[in-house]
Chain A
Amino acid sequence: DIQMTQSPSTLSASVGDRVTITCRASQSIGNWLAWFQQKPGKAPKPLIYKASILQSGVPSGFSGSGSGTEFTLTISRLRPDDFATYYCQQYNSYPWTFGQGTKVEIK
C-alpha cells in the first residue's frame, strides 16, 4: 500500500498568514493527488485534484503543487473560514490512501 505522510500534524496560524502543508507519498503517484478540507461534524470537502487543479467553487487563495512523491497545499492568506483539518489522498492505485491530516488552528 502507498503510505501518505503529511506535515505538520498541527499548524497554528493567524488570519492573513500564508500557510503551507506538505504531503509525501511512499512511492511515486504521478499527479494523482487530491486535497480535502474537513470541519467538525461535516463530510470532507474536495479542494484540489490532480495535484494542482482547483475544484469548482473553491476560492483562489488555495493552490496545490508537486508530482511524484512530494506535494504541497498552500493557502495564500488565511481567512477565518479556513481553520479546519486538511487531508491529502492518493488515487494512483488501489487501495486509495489518505494522509493523517493537518489541523490548522488559530494562533
Chain B
Amino acid sequence: QVQLVQSGAEVKKPGASVKVSCKASGYTFTGDNYHWVRQAPGQGLEWLGRINPNNDGTNYAQKFQGRVTMTSDTSISTAYMELRRLTSDDTAVYYCATSPIWGGHLDSWGQGTLVTVST
C-alpha cells in the first residue's frame, strides 16, 4: 500500500523560507517521480515541479524558477520541497504526489501541508 506522509503545518514570516518533506512507504521510492502541487485557500490546483530521485533531475514551473528547490534522500525514502522568499501569496496547502518513473499520471497523494505566511 503506497503511502505518502508529509511534514506538519508551518507558519512563516514574509521573506522566509519553508521546507516541506514527503516520506514514502509501501513501495520502491526510486520507482516514481515526486511532484509538488499547491492549493491556495478557495483556489484551484497549481503544479510547482517534480524531481526524479534516481538522478535528481528536476522540472520546475517557470513561475517558481529560482525560488523553489526540490531534493530527495533515497536512504530515507523522502522527498523535499523548499520555497524561498515567501510572500502572503504563498499561503497554501502543499501536496506531494507521485507518478511512475516511466511516465504516467499523479496516482498517489500526500495528505497536504498547510503553509501560512503572515506577519
Contact = CB atoms under 8 A, between A and B. Distances in A.
| Genuine A/B complex | yes
Contacts, number: 58
Given A1-B62, A44-B109, A49 B45 contact: no
Interface majority SS on A: helix, strand, loop or mixed? loop
Contact of A55 (B59, B60, B99, B107): B107
A95 B45 contact: no
Contacts of A38: 45
B59 A94 contact: yes
B17 interface: no
A78 interface: no
Contacts of A34: 105-106
B95 interface: yes
A46 B105 contact: yes
Interface in B77-109: 95, 97, 99, 104-107, 109
